[in-house]
Structure 1
Amino acid sequence: MKHSSRARRPSAKPAPRQPSSTLRIIGGEWRGRKLQFSAAEGLRPTGDRVRETLFNWLMPSLHGARCLDLFAGSGALGLEALSRGAAHVTFLDNHAPSARQIEAHLQLLGCDRGRALQADTLQWLQQTPAEACDIVFVDPPFQLDLWPSCLQQLETGGWLGDEALIYVETPRAYPLSAPTGWEQLREKQAGEVCFRLFCRATTLE
Protein backbone atom coordinates (compact mmCIF):
# COMPACT_ATOMS: atom_id res chain seq x y z
CA MET A 1 0.00 0.00 0.00
CA LYS A 2 1.47 3.33 -1.04
CA HIS A 3 1.55 6.25 1.30
CA SER A 4 1.34 9.83 0.14
CA SER A 5 4.66 11.63 0.28
CA ARG A 6 2.90 14.88 1.17
CA ALA A 7 3.08 15.77 4.83
CA ARG A 8 -0.24 16.10 6.48
CA ARG A 9 -1.12 19.53 7.76
CA PRO A 10 -1.62 19.59 11.47
CA SER A 11 -5.25 20.17 12.31
CA ALA A 12 -5.89 23.71 13.43
CA LYS A 13 -6.67 24.01 17.11
CA PRO A 14 -9.74 26.02 17.93
CA ALA A 15 -9.04 29.29 19.68
CA PRO A 16 -9.57 28.97 23.41
CA ARG A 17 -12.83 30.41 24.57
CA GLN A 18 -12.68 33.39 26.86
CA PRO A 19 -14.41 32.63 30.15
CA SER A 20 -17.62 34.57 30.49
CA SER A 21 -19.15 36.25 33.49
CA THR A 22 -22.60 37.61 34.21
CA LEU A 23 -23.51 41.20 35.01
CA ARG A 24 -26.87 41.75 36.70
CA ILE A 25 -28.54 45.15 36.56
CA ILE A 26 -29.95 45.70 40.03
CA GLY A 27 -32.37 48.60 39.67
CA GLY A 28 -34.45 50.75 37.37
CA GLU A 29 -35.93 49.99 33.94
CA TRP A 30 -33.82 46.87 33.34
CA ARG A 31 -33.84 45.59 36.90
CA GLY A 32 -32.93 41.92 37.02
CA ARG A 33 -31.57 41.76 33.45
CA LYS A 34 -28.49 39.58 33.17
CA LEU A 35 -25.84 40.36 30.57
CA GLN A 36 -22.87 38.19 29.63
CA PHE A 37 -19.41 39.67 29.21
CA SER A 38 -16.03 38.11 28.53
CA ALA A 39 -13.61 38.03 31.40
CA ALA A 40 -10.34 39.85 30.73
CA GLU A 41 -7.14 40.39 32.66
CA GLY A 42 -7.56 43.14 35.20
CA LEU A 43 -11.33 43.37 34.69
CA ARG A 44 -12.93 43.89 38.09
CA PRO A 45 -16.62 44.78 37.84
CA THR A 46 -18.04 46.75 40.76
CA GLY A 47 -19.96 44.29 42.92
CA ASP A 48 -23.72 44.33 43.47
CA ARG A 49 -23.60 45.56 47.06
CA VAL A 50 -21.24 48.41 46.24
CA ARG A 51 -23.38 49.41 43.25
CA GLU A 52 -26.51 49.33 45.39
CA THR A 53 -24.89 51.66 47.91
CA LEU A 54 -23.49 53.96 45.23
CA PHE A 55 -26.77 54.38 43.39
CA ASN A 56 -28.60 55.04 46.63
CA TRP A 57 -26.14 57.92 47.07
CA LEU A 58 -26.72 59.11 43.51
CA MET A 59 -30.50 58.70 43.39
CA PRO A 60 -31.42 62.40 43.87
CA SER A 61 -29.07 63.50 41.08
CA LEU A 62 -29.26 60.68 38.55
CA HIS A 63 -32.42 61.35 36.54
CA GLY A 64 -31.52 63.30 33.40
CA ALA A 65 -27.79 63.34 34.22
CA ARG A 66 -25.04 63.21 31.62
CA CYS A 67 -22.49 60.64 32.74
CA LEU A 68 -18.99 59.51 31.87
CA ASP A 69 -17.93 55.94 32.70
CA LEU A 70 -14.12 55.90 32.55
CA PHE A 71 -12.25 52.57 32.43
CA ALA A 72 -15.70 51.09 31.88
CA GLY A 73 -14.73 47.40 31.72
CA SER A 74 -17.99 45.45 31.84
CA GLY A 75 -19.98 48.70 31.73
CA ALA A 76 -21.66 47.86 35.05
CA LEU A 77 -21.75 51.42 36.39
CA GLY A 78 -22.85 53.17 33.22
CA LEU A 79 -25.51 50.57 32.38
CA GLU A 80 -26.90 50.83 35.90
CA ALA A 81 -27.02 54.62 35.51
CA LEU A 82 -28.93 54.33 32.22
CA SER A 83 -31.35 51.84 33.75
CA ARG A 84 -32.08 54.33 36.53
CA GLY A 85 -32.76 57.31 34.30
CA ALA A 86 -29.51 58.94 33.23
CA ALA A 87 -29.93 61.01 30.06
CA HIS A 88 -26.70 59.78 28.45
CA VAL A 89 -23.59 57.76 29.29
CA THR A 90 -20.29 57.74 27.42
CA PHE A 91 -18.37 54.54 28.15
CA LEU A 92 -14.60 54.56 27.68
CA ASP A 93 -12.23 51.60 27.72
CA ASN A 94 -8.90 50.96 26.00
CA HIS A 95 -9.73 47.25 25.55
CA ALA A 96 -11.50 47.00 22.19
CA PRO A 97 -13.47 43.79 23.00
CA SER A 98 -14.84 45.42 26.17
CA ALA A 99 -16.00 48.49 24.25
CA ARG A 100 -17.64 46.30 21.59
CA GLN A 101 -19.36 44.22 24.28
CA ILE A 102 -20.84 47.33 25.93
CA GLU A 103 -22.07 48.55 22.54
CA ALA A 104 -23.69 45.15 21.98
CA HIS A 105 -25.41 45.39 25.37
CA LEU A 106 -26.78 48.82 24.50
CA GLN A 107 -28.22 47.42 21.28
CA LEU A 108 -29.66 44.40 23.10
CA LEU A 109 -31.37 46.70 25.58
CA GLY A 110 -32.66 48.95 22.78
CA CYS A 111 -30.90 51.93 24.34
CA ASP A 112 -29.75 54.88 22.22
CA ARG A 113 -28.68 56.98 25.22
CA GLY A 114 -25.17 55.55 25.44
CA ARG A 115 -22.05 55.15 23.33
CA ALA A 116 -18.99 53.01 23.92
CA LEU A 117 -15.57 54.13 22.73
CA GLN A 118 -12.27 52.28 22.62
CA ALA A 119 -9.62 54.79 23.69
CA ASP A 120 -6.88 55.51 26.21
CA THR A 121 -8.66 57.47 28.92
CA LEU A 122 -5.87 59.92 29.79
CA GLN A 123 -5.29 60.76 26.13
CA TRP A 124 -9.01 61.07 25.44
CA LEU A 125 -9.48 63.49 28.33
CA GLN A 126 -7.00 65.89 26.73
CA GLN A 127 -9.59 66.96 24.17
CA THR A 128 -12.03 69.81 24.77
CA PRO A 129 -15.43 68.42 25.83
CA ALA A 130 -18.55 69.37 23.91
CA GLU A 131 -20.34 69.78 27.22
CA ALA A 132 -19.64 69.15 30.88
CA CYS A 133 -20.74 66.02 32.71
CA ASP A 134 -22.95 65.74 35.77
CA ILE A 135 -21.64 62.39 37.06
CA VAL A 136 -18.31 60.66 36.40
CA PHE A 137 -17.34 57.12 37.39
CA VAL A 138 -13.59 56.56 37.91
CA ASP A 139 -12.58 52.94 38.49
CA PRO A 140 -9.23 52.28 36.75
CA PRO A 141 -7.11 49.12 36.95
CA PHE A 142 -5.66 49.24 40.45
CA GLN A 143 -2.11 48.30 39.44
CA LEU A 144 -1.64 51.32 37.13
CA ASP A 145 -2.07 54.15 39.68
CA LEU A 146 -3.99 56.40 37.27
CA TRP A 147 -6.06 58.30 39.85
CA PRO A 148 -3.91 61.47 40.27
CA SER A 149 -3.63 62.16 36.53
CA CYS A 150 -7.22 61.24 35.78
CA LEU A 151 -8.82 63.33 38.52
CA GLN A 152 -6.67 66.34 37.70
CA GLN A 153 -7.56 66.14 34.00
CA LEU A 154 -11.25 65.96 34.83
CA GLU A 155 -10.94 69.13 36.91
CA THR A 156 -8.74 71.22 34.63
CA GLY A 157 -10.08 70.00 31.28
CA GLY A 158 -13.61 71.34 31.62
CA TRP A 159 -15.23 67.92 31.96
CA LEU A 160 -17.13 68.66 35.15
CA GLY A 161 -20.22 70.78 35.51
CA ASP A 162 -20.93 72.87 38.58
CA GLU A 163 -21.58 70.53 41.51
CA ALA A 164 -20.69 67.48 39.41
CA LEU A 165 -20.49 64.20 41.32
CA ILE A 166 -17.40 62.01 40.95
CA TYR A 167 -17.32 58.39 42.08
CA VAL A 168 -13.83 56.97 42.73
CA GLU A 169 -12.93 53.36 43.53
CA THR A 170 -9.46 52.56 44.93
CA PRO A 171 -7.65 49.90 46.95
CA ARG A 172 -8.55 50.09 50.63
CA ALA A 173 -5.29 51.67 51.79
CA TYR A 174 -4.72 53.97 48.81
CA PRO A 175 -3.91 57.59 49.92
CA LEU A 176 -6.22 59.37 47.50
CA SER A 177 -5.80 63.12 47.11
CA ALA A 178 -8.67 64.93 45.39
CA PRO A 179 -8.25 68.18 43.42
CA THR A 180 -8.67 71.47 45.23
CA GLY A 181 -12.30 72.37 45.76
CA TRP A 182 -13.70 68.84 45.70
CA GLU A 183 -15.75 67.92 48.76
CA GLN A 184 -15.89 64.31 49.84
CA LEU A 185 -19.52 63.43 50.50
CA ARG A 186 -19.33 59.71 51.20
CA GLU A 187 -16.82 56.95 51.84
CA LYS A 188 -17.24 53.23 52.48
CA GLN A 189 -15.15 50.10 52.31
CA ALA A 190 -15.98 46.65 51.04
CA GLY A 191 -13.31 43.99 51.41
CA GLU A 192 -10.07 45.39 49.96
CA VAL A 193 -11.87 48.19 48.09
CA CYS A 194 -12.56 51.76 49.20
CA PHE A 195 -15.18 53.77 47.32
CA ARG A 196 -15.84 57.48 47.65
CA LEU A 197 -18.21 60.07 46.27
CA PHE A 198 -17.02 63.65 45.71
CA CYS A 199 -18.83 66.82 44.74
CA ARG A 200 -17.13 69.56 42.74
CA ALA A 201 -17.64 73.00 44.24
CA THR A 202 -19.72 75.47 42.21
CA THR A 203 -16.95 78.04 42.29
CA LEU A 204 -13.27 77.41 42.83
CA GLU A 205 -10.85 79.99 44.15
Structure 2
Amino acid sequence: MRVIAGECKGRPLKAVPGTNTRPTTDKIKESIFNMIGPFFDGGTGLDLYGGSGGLGLEALSRGMEHFIFIDKDQKAIHTIKENIKQCNYEDNTEVFRNDAKRALKALHKRGMQFDMIFLDPPYAKQMLLKDMEEIDKLELLSPEGSIVTEHGTDVTLPEEIGNFYQVRQETYGKTTTITIYKRD
Protein backbone atom coordinates (compact mmCIF):
# COMPACT_ATOMS: atom_id res chain seq x y z
CA MET A 1 0.00 0.00 0.00
CA ARG A 2 1.19 3.46 -0.87
CA VAL A 3 0.08 6.99 -1.65
CA ILE A 4 -0.48 7.04 -5.41
CA ALA A 5 -0.37 10.73 -6.38
CA GLY A 6 0.17 14.25 -5.11
CA GLU A 7 2.68 15.62 -2.65
CA CYS A 8 3.18 12.26 -0.87
CA LYS A 9 3.30 10.19 -4.06
CA GLY A 10 5.04 6.85 -3.50
CA ARG A 11 5.01 7.10 0.30
CA PRO A 12 4.45 3.61 1.77
CA LEU A 13 1.51 3.08 4.13
CA LYS A 14 1.17 0.43 6.81
CA ALA A 15 -1.81 -1.94 6.85
CA VAL A 16 -3.77 -2.68 10.01
CA PRO A 17 -2.50 -5.93 11.54
CA GLY A 18 -4.92 -8.85 11.60
CA THR A 19 -7.88 -9.79 9.42
CA ASN A 20 -10.57 -7.41 10.71
CA THR A 21 -9.64 -4.68 8.24
CA ARG A 22 -9.61 -5.03 4.47
CA PRO A 23 -7.47 -2.28 2.91
CA THR A 24 -8.49 -0.68 -0.37
CA THR A 25 -6.06 -1.88 -3.01
CA ASP A 26 -3.92 0.69 -4.83
CA LYS A 27 -5.71 -0.16 -8.09
CA ILE A 28 -9.16 0.54 -6.64
CA LYS A 29 -7.90 3.64 -4.83
CA GLU A 30 -6.53 4.99 -8.11
CA SER A 31 -9.87 4.28 -9.82
CA ILE A 32 -11.78 6.07 -7.05
CA PHE A 33 -9.69 9.21 -7.41
CA ASN A 34 -9.93 9.12 -11.19
CA MET A 35 -13.71 9.22 -10.72
CA ILE A 36 -13.90 11.96 -8.06
CA GLY A 37 -10.83 14.11 -8.64
CA PRO A 38 -8.18 13.47 -9.42
CA PHE A 39 -6.93 16.54 -7.49
CA PHE A 40 -8.60 18.97 -5.08
CA ASP A 41 -8.35 22.62 -4.16
CA GLY A 42 -8.86 22.39 -0.42
CA GLY A 43 -11.88 20.98 1.36
CA THR A 44 -12.70 18.87 4.40
CA GLY A 45 -13.16 15.11 4.38
CA LEU A 46 -14.36 12.31 6.61
CA ASP A 47 -13.33 8.66 6.56
CA LEU A 48 -15.95 7.00 8.74
CA TYR A 49 -14.29 3.55 8.71
CA GLY A 50 -10.69 4.71 8.66
CA GLY A 51 -8.87 1.36 8.60
CA SER A 52 -5.30 2.29 7.66
CA GLY A 53 -6.28 5.83 6.65
CA GLY A 54 -5.23 5.25 3.04
CA LEU A 55 -8.22 6.91 1.36
CA GLY A 56 -8.09 10.08 3.45
CA LEU A 57 -4.31 10.36 3.16
CA GLU A 58 -4.61 9.99 -0.62
CA ALA A 59 -7.16 12.84 -0.63
CA LEU A 60 -4.86 15.03 1.48
CA SER A 61 -1.93 14.28 -0.81
CA ARG A 62 -4.11 15.34 -3.75
CA GLY A 63 -5.04 18.69 -2.21
CA MET A 64 -7.75 18.27 0.44
CA GLU A 65 -7.08 20.57 3.38
CA HIS A 66 -8.35 18.63 6.42
CA PHE A 67 -9.49 15.07 7.12
CA ILE A 68 -11.16 13.38 10.08
CA PHE A 69 -10.62 9.65 10.55
CA ILE A 70 -12.98 7.50 12.63
CA ASP A 71 -12.57 3.84 13.52
CA LYS A 72 -13.65 1.78 16.50
CA ASP A 73 -10.70 -0.63 16.35
CA GLN A 74 -7.67 0.35 18.46
CA LYS A 75 -5.22 -1.29 16.03
CA ALA A 76 -6.72 0.75 13.19
CA ILE A 77 -6.43 3.98 15.19
CA HIS A 78 -2.76 3.24 15.91
CA THR A 79 -2.10 2.46 12.21
CA ILE A 80 -3.89 5.63 11.03
CA LYS A 81 -1.76 7.73 13.38
CA GLU A 82 1.45 6.06 12.15
CA ASN A 83 0.49 6.65 8.52
CA ILE A 84 -0.45 10.28 9.22
CA LYS A 85 2.97 10.80 10.79
CA GLN A 86 4.64 9.07 7.81
CA CYS A 87 2.97 11.64 5.52
CA ASN A 88 3.55 14.62 7.85
CA TYR A 89 -0.17 15.44 8.06
CA GLU A 90 -0.48 15.77 11.84
CA ASP A 91 -1.69 19.39 11.46
CA ASN A 92 -4.29 18.46 8.81
CA THR A 93 -6.00 15.56 10.56
CA GLU A 94 -8.08 14.46 13.52
CA VAL A 95 -8.39 10.83 14.59
CA PHE A 96 -11.13 9.48 16.84
CA ARG A 97 -11.87 6.04 18.20
CA ASN A 98 -15.62 5.70 18.04
CA ASP A 99 -18.38 3.76 16.32
CA ALA A 100 -19.91 5.31 13.21
CA LYS A 101 -23.29 6.33 14.62
CA ARG A 102 -21.86 8.08 17.68
CA ALA A 103 -19.17 9.75 15.58
CA LEU A 104 -21.74 11.17 13.15
CA LYS A 105 -23.75 12.65 16.04
CA ALA A 106 -20.60 14.16 17.57
CA LEU A 107 -19.59 15.72 14.23
CA HIS A 108 -23.09 17.17 13.86
CA LYS A 109 -22.83 18.75 17.32
CA ARG A 110 -19.60 20.42 16.16
CA GLY A 111 -21.47 21.87 13.17
CA MET A 112 -19.26 20.01 10.70
CA GLN A 113 -19.95 19.58 6.98
CA PHE A 114 -17.76 17.60 4.63
CA ASP A 115 -16.85 17.95 0.97
CA MET A 116 -16.00 14.26 0.78
CA ILE A 117 -17.11 11.34 2.89
CA PHE A 118 -15.63 7.86 2.50
CA LEU A 119 -17.78 4.94 3.65
CA ASP A 120 -15.82 1.71 3.44
CA PRO A 121 -17.11 -0.52 6.27
CA PRO A 122 -15.91 -4.09 6.64
CA TYR A 123 -17.89 -6.14 4.13
CA ALA A 124 -19.38 -8.39 6.80
CA LYS A 125 -20.84 -5.37 8.59
CA GLN A 126 -22.44 -3.37 5.83
CA MET A 127 -24.22 -0.40 7.34
CA LEU A 128 -24.06 1.87 4.32
CA LEU A 129 -27.77 2.60 3.99
CA LYS A 130 -28.18 3.50 7.67
CA ASP A 131 -24.98 5.57 7.65
CA MET A 132 -26.11 7.54 4.60
CA GLU A 133 -29.56 8.13 6.05
CA GLU A 134 -27.91 9.47 9.22
CA ILE A 135 -25.48 11.67 7.22
CA ASP A 136 -28.49 13.07 5.33
CA LYS A 137 -30.56 13.64 8.48
CA LEU A 138 -27.66 15.41 10.22
CA GLU A 139 -26.77 17.41 7.07
CA LEU A 140 -23.10 16.43 7.23
CA LEU A 141 -22.46 16.56 3.47
CA SER A 142 -21.75 20.00 1.99
CA PRO A 143 -23.96 21.09 -0.93
CA GLU A 144 -21.29 20.20 -3.51
CA GLY A 145 -19.91 17.22 -1.59
CA SER A 146 -19.59 13.57 -2.55
CA ILE A 147 -20.06 10.31 -0.67
CA VAL A 148 -17.84 7.48 -1.89
CA THR A 149 -18.90 4.01 -0.81
CA GLU A 150 -16.90 0.82 -1.20
CA HIS A 151 -18.90 -2.35 -0.75
CA GLY A 152 -19.24 -5.98 -1.74
CA THR A 153 -20.72 -6.83 -5.12
CA ASP A 154 -23.50 -8.62 -3.26
CA VAL A 155 -24.73 -5.29 -1.82
CA THR A 156 -27.21 -3.36 -3.94
CA LEU A 157 -27.62 0.30 -3.07
CA PRO A 158 -30.63 2.32 -4.25
CA GLU A 159 -30.41 5.11 -6.85
CA GLU A 160 -31.54 7.59 -4.19
CA ILE A 161 -31.08 7.68 -0.43
CA GLY A 162 -32.78 10.64 1.21
CA ASN A 163 -31.38 13.74 -0.51
CA PHE A 164 -28.53 11.83 -2.16
CA TYR A 165 -28.54 10.42 -5.67
CA GLN A 166 -26.18 7.95 -7.28
CA VAL A 167 -23.88 9.51 -9.87
CA ARG A 168 -21.61 6.58 -10.65
CA GLN A 169 -21.09 2.91 -9.89
CA GLU A 170 -18.20 0.68 -10.96
CA THR A 171 -17.45 -2.96 -10.09
CA TYR A 172 -13.91 -4.27 -9.76
CA GLY A 173 -13.31 -7.98 -9.98
CA LYS A 174 -15.77 -10.28 -8.26
CA THR A 175 -15.80 -8.66 -4.82
CA THR A 176 -15.71 -4.84 -4.87
CA THR A 177 -18.12 -2.13 -6.02
CA ILE A 178 -17.63 1.63 -5.74
CA THR A 179 -20.80 3.73 -5.63
CA ILE A 180 -20.66 7.53 -5.55
CA TYR A 181 -23.47 9.80 -4.37
CA LYS A 182 -24.05 13.56 -4.54
CA ARG A 183 -26.58 15.80 -2.84
CA ASP A 184 -29.86 16.23 -4.74
Structures share fold, TM-score greater than 0.5: yes
Quote the Cα distance in structure 1 between the aligned partners of 2:168 and 2:140. Answer: 21
Greater C-alpha Rg: 1
Quote the Cα distance in structure 1 between the aligned partners of 2:75 and 2:63. Answer: 26
Larger RCO: Structure 1 or Structure 2 (Cα < 8 Å, ≥ 6 residues apart)? 2
TM-fit CA distance, 1:100: 1.9
CA contact (8 A) 2:168 2:181 kept: yes
Counterparts of residues 1-205 of structure 1 (less than 5 Å) = 23-59=1-37, 62-111=40-89, 112-127=91-106, 128-177=109-158, 178-191=160-173, 192-201=175-184
Quote the Cα distance in structure 2 between the aligned partners of 1:62 and 1:147. Answer: 25
Q: Which amino acid aligns with 2:154?
A: A
TM-fit CA distance, 1:33: 0.8
Q: Which amino acid aligns with 1:125?
A: L
CA contact (8 A) 1:186 1:197 kept: yes
Deviates more, 1:167-176 or 1:179-188: 179-188
Structure 1 residues without counterparts, runs of 5 or longer: 1-22
CA contact (8 A) 2:15 2:23 kept: no
CA offsets per residue over residues 42-78 of structure 1, 9 Å max, x none? 2111111111111112226732010000111011100
Using the size of structure 1 for normalisation, the TM-score is: 0.82
Q: Which amino acid aligns with 1:136?
A: I
Quote the Cα distance in structure 1 between the aligned partners of 2:19 and 2:38. Answer: 35
RMSD: 1.6
Identical residues among aligned pairs (%): 29
Using the size of structure 2 for normalisation, the TM-score is: 0.90
The secondary structure found in structure 2 opposite 1:165 is strand
Structure 2 CA distance for partners of 1:60 and 1:193, relative to 1, 3 Å: closer
Report the number of matched residues: 179
Deviates more, 1:54-63 or 1:124-133: 54-63
CA contact (8 A) 1:129 1:159 kept: no
The secondary structure found in structure 2 opposite 1:29 is coil
Quote the Cα distance in structure 2 between the aligned partners of 1:104 and 1:56. Answer: 26
CA contact (8 A) 1:78 1:89 kept: yes
Structure 2 residues without counterparts, runs of 5 or longer: none
CA contact (8 A) 1:100 1:116 kept: no
Which is richer in helix?
2
